[in-house]
Structure 1
Amino acid sequence: MVKGINLADHLDPTPRILMGPGPSNVNYRVYRAMMTPVIGYLDPQLLKCMDEISEMLRALFQTKNRVTLAISATGSAGMEASFVNFVEPGDTVIVGVNGFFAQRMTEVAERCGAKVIRVEEEWGKIVPPERLIKALQENPNAKICALVHGETSTGIKQPLEEVGEYCKKRDILFVVDAVTSLGGCELKVDEWGIDVCYSCTQKGLSVPPGLSPITVSPKAMDVLYSRKTKVQSFYLDLIKLEKYWGEERVYHHTAPASMLYALREGLRIIFEEGLEERFKRHEILSKRLRMELDQLGFKPFAQEGYRLPMLTSVILPSDVEDFPTRRRLLNEYRIEVGGGLGHLKGKIWRIGLMGETCQIQNIHALIAALKEILA
């Protein structure tokens, strides 16, 4: 017996419509793929699965980078890997800070010993590219410039092209967080001059959390190979990970076979739909959601012209209580939406239309529920 636990009780979570900032709902085909037999980490069938994942991730990131793989951990590990591999003590890192996860970038870089220069902007607004370029000009020794493409805390879609073009012509690595944006909108890693780009599986890819897709340019790998010190993390060392995912097949860790099956199937679903159609679906339905919410008094929070299609942030009407309303949505209607983070707690909602969740019937369900609750 285990004290306080009835071992006869089976785990049976209530199904939800996941309209928060992540995770998103998962297609039955992905669950079915996860039920297939676990095999060894060097089994030829698993290695073939990994090769297929890498190839599909290259197409999704729109890159030819040889080092494109999925780290066996959540998206936060992708962020850690993007700094721990390329930052050595004393390096200068410039970060555009306009939200919770950009702030986390600065914390991770500082833990690696970086001298962090913050280019700050109000939450809910983009960091103007000209300000970032000015900071880079004022700090010509900067090693990394980092931005969040889709800021999960605010619903902002940060423009990347100008900064990427500037970094591309210099010895500056451009690091981009695409945790929320990958799979839901255009992301052109090679064309935009991005050197390191990481994401997660549980948002735009509609796969359970547990892996962090990442792609690394040859320019960034050259920097990694020329380090003066060892990468601080053994588990997140991209040199070692590349040797496992690449042709050498050198053992590094026991890969989570079931999660790799899930990612492979999730990527297959994406490419069956087609990127252009998928991005169009997110754009059209996000506009519909914003229109419906506006009629209920929920006004957009993120800067106009730079709003994420897969995550809508709205300001709560004065007569709507944050937590009690979200609790009723969850308990009575089985709909999850996200509240604000940091100083935005209790002031905004973050409503996700990511991947599998991005369906017109889910918008209908949310709006109908809100009309009943607010009546």
Structure 2
Amino acid sequence: MKKGKRKGKLKSKPARRARPARRSKPARRSQSADKEKSSAGAFFPRKRMIAKLIQRRRRRLRRVLRKGIGPVAVPSKAAPAVPPVETPDPKKTIRQVTKRQILLCPGPVLLSLGVKHALAGPEICHREQEFTGMQEAVRAKLIHALGLDGRWTSVLIGGSGTAALESAILSAVDPSKKLLVVNNGVYGSRIAQIAKIHGIPLVEVRAPLTEAPALDRVHAALKRERGIGTVAMVHHETSTGMLNPVEAVGGLAKKLHKRFLVDAISSLGAERLDLDKAGVDLCVGSAGKALHGAPGLSFVLVNQSEVVRIQKQKPRSLYLDLAGALKSQESGEPPFTPAVPLVAAFHAALNELIKEGLKSRIAKYRQRSVFLRQGFKKLKLEFLLPEKDLSNSLTALMVPTEISYTKLHALLRKGGFVIYAGQSELREKIFRVAHMGGLLQSDLKLFLSVLKTALSR
């Protein structure tokens, strides 16, 4: 040991780092070893790569969904660039749809919770007993709810009231016979238009939109024109709110042995209408108006005395063949796919009408019309027609000179109410307020308040 060095303080030299041994090829692992390591949570680079790829795709998908559009392809030099299409904000659209609006239009109408529940019910096959039984119940309850008896039957037609009207016209007029149309509005003109399209010989007794048809002119036309087999008219002319004299015209038709067809699409359930007393042979109605069903389903009420005659007729249409529809519904074998949810909703609506009673429903409509018209008078609004000619289900009012219909409609819609414009020559001159559907008294009070505010702007 050298001098000056203490025994316990000697430092040893670091050992020389050994050369790494030559790497040998790894032995092939067995599949059982792989499984053991995998189950023990061993790391595999391939799994990590797949996980990262999935994360990147998820992040990209979230970006695309936030923007509302997909990746935009770069146009080639040959093809001109297509301008991007503006995609509506889905959140804004949903808010607009889900915001409750009070419909003051003559269909569609506000539905009860029971009808909505039936409309969104379980799917039913139209060729199974569940549907055919429900359809038969609807046809029977319709006759019962409207106070008719065994002298009447009903035929359901998939489509708006116009579909049932066209079906009835094609069955009501015999070949080589003429159709006399009592026309004092847009829907009277529609009957004439349908006849012209199908080449049915036509005679029209026209009256101004704001006047009831003159009975002496109807009588004169029936006496003058040879070959008239059917008379047709609208009970409630929805374009103006006028209630036409169906019983008087029906009396003239029966006196001269003519068939009588009535369009009661917007009056059944809201107005008194005795089909037997008026001498009606075919009556057209709709589920989606004063009967409080969903839109898109209509029907024809047929007097049993007409059933044999229309069954002998040669069909003029495939889908709108009234005799064919009646035969298929009575046999329970539908030739086409019917509007199953609409039939279910109508079934629920008829149950509610039967429980309420037709007289009570009509009285309710009358009370609504009186309440609203008193409010319109306080607001100094002018009626299109004399009050004696008005129906229970709709009021037509002149648009004040201080405001346009477009602005009035926009202000009322902002306040939660939807009204109707005029039609034909009255389009910009009037606005229409219907009293149909599941309206509450509070809805009517609020509407008058919102209307007052809109008119004062």
TM-score (ref. length: structure 2): 0.76
Name 1:119's counterpart in structure 2. Answer: 205
Which of 366, 387, 390 is 1:307 aligned to? Answer: 390
Q: After TM superposition, give the deviation of residue 4 of structure 1 in Å.
A: 6.5
Quote how far apart the aligned CAs of 1:6 are: 7.6
Deviation at 1:267, TM superposition (A): 1.0
User: CA offsets per residue over residues 201-242 of structure 1, 9 Å max, x none?
Assistant: 221122221100211123333432343xx3221111111111
**Aligned match of 2:355:** 272
1:338 aligns with 2:420: yes
Residue 325 of structure 2: aligned partner: 241
CA shift for structure 1 position 121: 0.9
Match of 1:182 among 264, 268, 279: 268
Equivalent pair of 2:167/2:320 in contact (CA under 8 Å):
yes
Q: Tell me, yes or no, if structure 1 residue 213 matches structure 2 residue 299.
A: yes
Instruction: Report the equivalent of 1:369.
Output: 450
Report if aligned partners of 1:90, 1:113 keep a CA contact under 8 Å in 2.
Answer: no
Q: Which amino acid aligns with 2:397?
A: V
Alignment of 1:255-294 (within 5 A): 255-294=338-377
Shift of 1:167: 2.5
Tell me the equivalent position of 2:410.
327
Distance in structure 2 (CA, Å) of the matches to 1:271 and 1:219: 26
8 Å Cα contact 2:241/2:395 also seen in 1:
yes
Greater Cα shift, 50-59 or 172-181: 50-59
The C-alpha deviation readout for 1:272-293, integer Å capped at 9, x for no partner, is 1111111111112201111111
Question: 1 CA distance for matches of 2:195 and 2:430?
Answer: 28
Matched residues in 1 for 2:211 and 2:88: separation? Answer: 50
Residue identity matched to 2:448: I
Map residues 158-197 of structure 1 onto 2, 5 A cutoff. Answer: 158-197=244-283
Q: Which moved more, 1:24-33 or 1:48-57?
A: 48-57
Q: How many pairs were matched up?
A: 370
User: Aligned AA for 1:236?
Assistant: L
Could you say what the CA RMSD is over the residues aligned between the two structures, in angstroms?
2.1
Moved over 4 A (4+): 1-12
Of the three residues 158, 163, 170, the one matched with 1:72 is 158
What is the SS of the residue equivalent to 2:389? coil
Instruction: Write the distance in 1 (CA, Å) between the matches of 2:276 and 2:329.
Output: 21
- Rounded to whole Å, the distance in 1 between the matches of 2:385 and 2:125 is 46
Match in the other structure for 2:218: 132
Structure 1 gap segments, 5+ residues each = none
Instruction: Give the whole-Å Cα distance in 2 for the aligned partners of 1:128 and 1:58.
Output: 32
Are 1:38 and 2:119 counterparts? Answer: no
TM-superposed CA distance for 1:308, in Å, is 0.7
8 Å CA contact retained: 2:286, 2:297: yes
- Residue 236 to residue 214, structure 1, CA distance change in 2 (3 Å): same
2:165·2:284 contact (CA, 8 Å) conserved in 1? yes
Residue 84 (str. 1) matches residue 170 (str. 2): yes
Bigger CA drift: 132-141 or 311-320?
Answer: 132-141
Taking a change above 3 Å as real, the CA distance of residues 374 and 233 of structure 1, as seen in their structure-2 partners, is: same
- Label 1:11 to 1:231 Cα distance change in 2 as closer, same or farther (>3 A): farther
Indicate which of 357, 372, 378 corresponds to 1:295. 378
Correspondent of 2:310 among 224, 229, 245: 224
Matching residue's letter, 1:361: S
C-alpha deviation, 1:26, in angstroms: 0.9
- Residue by residue, what CA displacement relative to the aligned partner does 1:153-187 show, whole Å, maximum 9, x if unpaired? 00001111122223335542211111110111112
Cα distance per residue 1:109-139 (max 9 Å; x no partner): 1112122111111102211333222221222
Q: Distance in 1 between matches of 2:333 and 2:327?
A: 6
Listed one character per residue, the Cα deviations across residues 222-268 of structure 1 (whole Å, up to 9, x for unaligned) are: 432343xx32211111111111221x223311122111110011111
Give me the whole-angstrom Cα distance separating, in 2, the residues matched to 1:77 and 1:61: 21
d(CA) in 2 for partners of 1:25, 1:124: 29
Determine if contact 1:87/1:112 at 8 Å carries over to the other structure. Answer: no
For 2:89 and 2:383, locate their aligned partners in 1 and report how far apart those are by CA, in whole Å: 47
In the TM superposition, residue 355 of structure 1 has moved relative to its aligned partner by: 2.8
Q: Match of 1:152, as an amino acid?
A: T
Distance 1:50 1:134 in 2: 43
Cα displacement (A) at 1:345: 1.0
Q: Distance in 1 between matches of 2:243 and 2:106?
A: 14
- Please give the alpha-carbon distance, in whole angstroms, between the structure 2 residues aligned to 1:25 and 1:112: 35
Cα displacement string for residues 339-360 of structure 1 (whole angstroms, at most 9, x for unaligned residues): 1101001111110001313x32
> Of the two structures, which has the highest relative contact order with CA contacts closer than 8 Å and spacing of 6 or more?
1
* Residue aligned with 1:199, SS: strand
Kindly indicate whether the alpha-carbon contact (under 8 Å) linking 1:91 and 1:113 is maintained by their aligned counterparts in 2.
no
Indicate conservation of the 8 Å contact 2:172/2:261, yes or no: no
Matched, 1:49 2:134: yes
The answer to whether the Cα contact below 8 Å between 2:184 and 2:206 also exists between their aligned partners in 1 is: yes
Amino acid at match of 2:186: F
**Separation in 2, partners of 1:372, 1:44:** 54
CA displacement 1:65-84 (0-9 Å, x = unmatched): 44302211111101111112
* Structure label with greater radius of gyration: 2
**Secondary structure at the counterpart of residue 67 of structure 1:** strand
Quote the residue 2:102 is aligned against. Answer: 17
Counterpart-to-counterpart distance in 1, 2:304 and 2:255: 14
Residue 282 (structure 2) pairs with residue 200 (structure 1)? no
